[in-house]
Chains A and B, each alone.
Chain A
Amino acid sequence: MNYFPDEVIEHVFDFVTSHRDRNSISLVCKSWFKIERYSRQNVFIGNCYATSPERLLRRFPCFKSLTLKGKPHFADFNLVPHGWGGFVQPWIEALARSRVGLEELRLKRMVVTDESLELLSRSFVNFKSLVLVSCEGFSTDGLASIAANCRHLQDLDLQENDIDDHRGQWLSCFPETSTTLVTLNFACLEGETNLVALERLVARSPNLRSLKLNRTVPLEALARLMACAPQIVELGVGSYEDEQDSESCLRLQAAIRKCTSLRSLSGFLEAAPHCLSAFQPVCHNLTSLNLSYAAEINGSHLIRLIEHCKKLQRLWILDSIGDKGLEVVASTCKELQELRVFPTDLHGGGNAAVTEDGLVAISAGCPKLHSILYFCQQMTNEALITVAKNCPNFIRFRLCILEPHKPDHVTSQPLDEGFGAIVQACKNLKRLSVSGLLTDQVFLYIGMFATQLEMLSIAFAGDTDKGMLYVLNGCKKMRKLEIRDSPFGDAALLADVNKYETMRSLWMSSCEVTLGGCKRLAQKAPWLNVEIINENDNNRMEEENGYEGRQKVDKLYLYRTVVGTRVDAPPFVWIL
């Protein structure tokens, strides 16, 4: 390959987009390393503390798009206290100082401030795309800066963030000359928006493909917006009260019929039970449907809509759809690839809306299914074994039985065999979440068969350290391991310290690891940041002599890093 000039090699590299493949390319030889380095457009950093902005800029001077992830996954469930970290400010500051022509920033579980957004909006002339997922720390003032200053903004995509809504006029801050919007998603905002400004913005954005409104945008506004943007491909519906205003309804139906490109429907946060029928004309084209926030719509209405969605590839739904509803999905949606069934009742109050039968029905009816997230009250080994036989193509399999330690409800056995069947049959399984009553046996199966597994979530499972050891020894491709409330301790933690160099991170909370064990680990592995998160009493851990070594650690988060201990840790985080 070195007979070709660099430009040719670079051109070949352009076809390689996956960052993992590009990482591999750069290891081939020095020349390729150099070429790849300068031509890397999209940089992905899975853990913002694994490296630093300076190192990023040294390695990839010419990148245009940056993806950063901050807090560990369990932060989504309130297991990581506020203030832990994941601040984007230093990154934006460093990038702003450099000459990088940043065009896209994608952040997940990071702390973003209005100051950061302001700086971002002023520093990069060609900035085009901002995607924030599960972030917090900013307000609509920050959005106003983005709107006002980013002349070429194409994507403003806010997914499930915690945003302080000042009910200001951020939408009016888009200049009249701004016509480049492609994606506008503000579904997670709580407050009222300026509907006039919104309509005008939509009307002057001919490239708008994705529009996701928040719960305060009423029905008549929706009708007008859709009339302005018939080219829309993804729509997130705002509030949709009862069809008392029949004129609005008729207008909406007329507008919907014109949206021949509509492929994805979501929202319905404030949705009256009967409102879905207006969307029936577009169902036959829909590939993605997210009704997982539509708590008021009962199963029968959902079913009536889904019956028409023959091309559906992605479905997110609440368990109010019931097993019967899932059977309809199974018989209708033959193209289904991803299914998520979320719980309506978060306290496990008794009435199981979906059971193992629904899961089996889906597995039998949808041959292309490869990703599933399923919350339910009960499960059996038999069902899981059947699912494994029906669907050997799972890449992501996440099952959450709402009650911890719940066994097979028919045989009262642990669910080891069921999950064992899944990992044995699904040779491409990359992500797995287990639940229910589980012994060390299930981890033996996982270690033996889940050779491609990259992410494993364990809660309330296992008997002894052997469980964790099976996984650490067996799953060669493991990258993220997160464990809570399981009896794994120091022996498992310390058995193979070098394993953690091959992984992005390990999370263990409410397990059996002790402070002494963590200290030993930190000593053996200086290239790891071993963080102890102890919210309750900062001083106690240090000062009780004698018992210190055996004191249980509440939360442990460790990750490989090339830049050593981070300097922005709050007092309740102790980095060993």
Chain B
Amino acid sequence: MSLEEELQSNVSVASSSPTKNTAGGGGLKVHNYFGLSDSSSVESSTLSGRVEDDKATISLKATELTLGLPGSQSTELDLLSPAKLNEKPFFPLLPSKDEICSSSSHKNIVASGNKRGFSDTMYTEKNWMFPESVAAQSVVKKEVPQNIPKGQLSTTNNSSSPPAAKAQIVGWPPVRSYRKNTLATTCKNSDEVDGKPGSAALFVKVSMDGAPYLRKVDLRSYTNYGELSSALEKMFTTFTLGHCGSNGAPGKDMLNETKLKDLLNGKDYVLTYEDKDGDWMLVGDVPWEMFIDVCKKLKIMKGCDAIGLAAAPRAIEKSKMRA
């Protein structure tokens, strides 16, 4: 696929670039957060060990997380991000430029990698992504810093993809959710806000029948129903697998997303939402933009409980009334 081709060319550029940074021959290896460095330490060595080690060691597991499993729809989110993030490293690594990018833009790159990792962690169990990324940070700092012309930085920014791919870190920036939601609603209600509609987050609670606690999701971090659905699947994996009762086993080996999807698609569970009028509707009947405008809460209901909930006709009626 083109993604892999891109990766290949990325790798070759990386390895051929002149290394002005002497502190780490591994300096450039840091860019290869796609996991293409020689050493692949899976066990976490202590961080001080990493600092002394000039070669950045990014575990191969970083690759796994980044690329996701081929053909697996649920990892679409993972697949999207690296494709867009590819654009950033290209700029500093172009051989025609004399300057090697400064550590600040290194931070951009690796930080973006971090951001992706964090957002993945929201939805997966693979928490160990954090330490290695942070380790990468410390190595990068050892490099001789270079100045990068502001122009280059801004082109990088301009060419970078829409906010969704800059994958938001959980809980960052440290702004209260109340404030985020309030500003989001305010921006939504106005006609123009500097051409940046919906730049703030919009958290809604998600509950599931039988689950002991609620979760919260930021509706603005998705662009369509598919993304939302994948994210929710991942979030509520543990509960649904608890319901995989037929085998009896408490489901440790059953982190099988296909099975979960079957469960959800097999109409065992349906996704519903409460709208501004307080009515419970089925998710998916109205256009996405309208949906995030009216959705106040989400609920994953058992299929049998959802019988009689507003089906398409009623939802469309409502949307007509609002228009």
Residue numbers of A with Cβ under 8 A of B are 74, 76-79, 81-83, 134, 160-162, 188, 269-270, 292-293, 295-296, 342-350, 375, 400, 402-407, 409, 411-414, 433, 437, 439, 457, 459-460, 463-465, 484-487, 489, 491, 510, 512, 536-540, 543, 550, 552, 554, 570-572
In the complex, the answer to whether B107 meets A537 with C-beta atoms within 8 Å is no
Considering the chains assembled together, what is the distance between the CA atoms of A540 and B238 in angstroms?
A: 11
* Segment touching A, from B25-33, B55-63, B84-92, B162-170: B162-170
Interface locus among B66-74, B198-206, B264-272: B198-206
Question: Which B residues lie within 8 Å of A270 (CB)?
Answer: 186, 189
Which residues of chain A have C-beta atoms less than 8 A from B40's C-beta? none
Query: What residues on A are CB-neighbors of B179 within 8 Å?
Result: 160, 292-293, 342
Minimal Cβ-Cβ distance residue in B for A439: B141
| Residue among A347, A402, A486 making CB contact with B199, cutoff 8 Å | A347
B232-260: which residues lie under 8 A (CB-CB) from chain A? 238, 250, 252
Contact A160 to B176, CB < 8 A, known contacts A82-B215, A293-B186, A347-B166 = yes
Interface centre among B102, B134, B179 (most CB of A within 10 A): B134
Return the contact of A437 from the options B141, B193, B215, B238 (Cβ within 8 A): B141
For the complex, what is the distance from the CA of A161 to the CA of B128, rounded to whole Å? 34
Q: Are A343 and B175 in contact (CB under 8 A)?
A: yes
Q: Are A459 and B172 in contact (CB under 8 A)?
A: yes
Using Cβ atoms and an 8 Å threshold, which residues of chain A touch B16? none
Closest A-B pairs by Cβ, 5 of them: A412-B145, A77-B171, A83-B213, A487-B47, A536-B125
A/B interface sample: 28 pairs, CB < 8 A? A78-B171, A79-B170, A82-B213, A82-B215, A134-B176, A270-B189, A296-B186, A296-B193, A342-B179, A346-B201, A349-B157, A400-B173, A402-B173, A403-B111, A404-B107, A404-B169, A405-B107, A405-B137, A412-B103, A412-B146, A459-B174, A460-B134, A485-B130, A487-B138, A510-B130, A536-B124, A539-B252, A550-B44
Residues of B within 8 A of A489 (CB): 46-47
Is the CB of B183 closer than 8 A to any CB of chain A? yes
- Interface-centre pick from A161, A350, A375, A570 (highest chain B CB count, 10 A): A350
Chain B positions within 8 Å of A460 at CB level: 134, 137
Complex Cα spacing A352 to B212, Å: 43
- A213 → chain B closest CB, angstroms: 14
Minimum distance in angstroms from A14 CB to a CB of chain B: 36
SS class of chain A's interface: helix, strand, loop or mixed?
loop
Could you tell me if A76 and B163 are in contact, using CB atoms closer than 8 angstroms? Answer: no
B residues sitting closer than 8 Å to A (CB atoms) are: 43-44, 46-48, 51, 102-104, 107-108, 110-111, 114, 118, 121, 124-125, 127-128, 130-131, 134-135, 137-138, 141, 145-147, 154, 157-158, 163, 166, 168-180, 182-183, 186-187, 189-190, 193, 196, 199-201, 203, 205, 212-216, 238, 250, 252
- How far, in Å, is A83 (CB) from chain B's closest CB? 4
> Which B residues touch A540, using CB under 8 A?
125, 252
Residues of A within 8 A of B186 (CB): 269-270, 293, 295-296
Q: Evaluate contact between A486 and B190: CB separation under 8 angstroms.
A: no
Q: Which residues of A have CB within 8 Å of B114? A: 404, 485
B130 near A77 (CB under 8 angstroms)? no
Q: Complex Cα distance A459/B171, Å?
A: 11
- A350 contacts which of B128, B157, B175, B212 (Cβ < 8 Å)? B157
Which residues of chain A are within 8 angstroms of B200 by Cβ–Cβ distance? 346
Contact yes or no, B104 A409, CB < 8 A = yes
Apart from A83-B212, A464-B51, A510-B118: 8 A-B pairs, beta carbons within 8 A: A82-B216, A269-B186, A405-B107, A405-B110, A412-B104, A485-B118, A485-B134, A491-B46
Within the assembled complex, what's the spacing in Å between the Cα atoms of A413 and B177? 32
Name the residue on B nearest A273 (C-beta). Answer: B190
Tell me the complex Cα distance, A464–B48, Å. 6
State the CA gap A536–B216 with chains docked (Å).
Answer: 14
Residues on the A chain within 8 Å of B107, using CB: 403-407, 437
Q: Which of A162, A414, A572 contacts B213 (CB 8 A)?
A: A572
A160's nearest neighbour on chain B, judged by CB, is B178
The chain B residue sitting closest to A161, CB to CB, is B178
Q: How far is the CA of A283 from the CA of B205 in the complex (A)?
A: 40
Q: Smallest Cβ distance from A562 to chain B, in angstroms?
A: 28
Contacts of A537 in B (CB 8 A): 125, 238
Which residue of B is nearest A81, CB measured?
B213
- Are the CB atoms of A346 and B199 closer together than 8 Å? yes
With a CB–CB cut-off of 8 A, which chain B residues contact A439? 141
Closest to A407 in B: B104
Q: How far is the CB of A423 from chain B (nearest CB, A)?
A: 20
